Structure 1
Amino acid sequence: MPNSNPERPLSTDTTEVVPEHPEHSDTPGQEDSNDVAHEGSCHCGKVKWVMRAPRVLQCVQCNCSICKKKSLIHYIVKREKFTLVQGGDKLKTYTFNTGVAQHRFCKKCGVQSFYIPRSNPNSISVMPNCIDSNTVDSIELSDFEGQNWDEAIKLNPPSSN
């Protein structure tokens, strides 16, 4: 069950943070008319998910310490538009600093295909390079000054798609 209380720290129990569903189903009112189903996974395929989003992804490139080392590009999506199809039990979690961000990665191959971001703890940050389906037309990037996180978040308040 997703964490509905942003004051309560997110558990390292993946099933609480991102419930696993055997099949993706659309819920009325949750999709935009421009949304399509994007299927994604880790490298070994043990972790699979589906998200509903437009074909053109408005992504963020952050230069904070972890994003820089991982060369991460983020697409922030509302939790209700993301479904973990399989592999919740195959995920490990890494946290640091405030512990709000829940960096999830596959225990087998080590790939982080999504995580819970500090900037949007009630959303999911998807790594667009982990989208397997041929459903992305283009990726548009904007920069986030993560090295000065507190200042940057004031100038660029969080939003999700």
Structure 2
Amino acid sequence: MAQHADAPPADKKKHTGSCHCGKVRFEVLADLSGGGNRCNCTLCTKLNGTWVYTAPAEFTLLSDEDTCSTYAQPGRAAKRYFCKACGVHLFGRDHLEELGGDFVAVNLNCFDDLDPSTVTPHHWDGRHDNWEGGTRDTPWPIFTT
């Protein structure tokens, strides 16, 4: 059976999300069947988020962008967005060839319709820029000796 051109692919579902105070809201078309992503880079470790990566066209910020503040880690291309009022980190925008180019990393902890503990995490070794290593099911070490 052919899928309607305007329908999302069978493995993608539209989710809504928000920060704690609700001033920042978004919609994202995401495939969660493959699990979420965790990273051991210094920022992701401190944020303790679990992320789903999606194409920029599949992410819609429903609030005005001026409700967000941004942070870009020195020496990195990623731009992180968080609520100016409550400080919750919602998403980031970046470009990595290993992930197919431009993407949006959306924090599963901010989804309104999802218990993030039900999503299997896959781990990236961002602390060592080991994107070519892909993911694994157990966390990468933060420090190596």
Band of TM-score, shorter chain: 0.7 to 0.9
Larger radius of gyration: 2
* Corresponding letter in the other structure for 2:80: H
SS at match of 2:86: coil
1:130 aligns with 2:107: no
- Give structure 1 regions of 4+ aligned residues with deviation exceeding 3 angstroms: 54-57, 117-121, 134-138
2:32 and 2:52 in contact (8 A); partners too = no
Decide whether aligned partners of structure 1 residues 89 and 148 sit closer, same or farther in structure 2, where only a CA change above 3 A counts.
Answer: same
1:36 and 1:52 in contact (8 A); partners too = yes
* Corresponding letter in the other structure for 1:46: K
1:31 and 1:81 in contact (8 A); partners too = no
Decide whether aligned partners of structure 1 residues 137 and 56 sit closer, same or farther in structure 2, where only a CA change above 3 A counts.
Answer: farther
- For the aligned residues, what is the CA RMSD? 2.4
One of 39, 44, 53 as aligned partner of 1:62:
39
1:62 and 1:144 in contact (8 A); partners too = yes
Query: Which ranges of structure 1 fall in alignment gaps of 5 or more residues?
Result: 1-27
Distance 2:51 2:106 in 1: 6
Q: Which residue of 2 aligns with 1:140?
A: 120
One of 9, 22, 35 as aligned partner of 1:45:
22
Q: Which residue of 1 aligns with 2:57?
A: 80
Query: 1:33: Cα distance to partner?
Result: 1.8
* Corresponding letter in the other structure for 1:78: A
Q: Which residue of 2 aligns with 1:115?
A: 92
Query: Which ranges of structure 2 fall in alignment gaps of 5 or more residues?
Result: 136-145
> TM-score, normalising length from structure 1?
0.69
Query: 1:34: Cα distance to partner?
Result: 2.5
SS at match of 2:52: strand
Q: Deviations over 1:77-133 (max 9, x none)?
A: 111111111131111111122241001111111011111135356211000010002
Q: Percent identity?
A: 27
Distance 2:113 2:16 in 1: 5
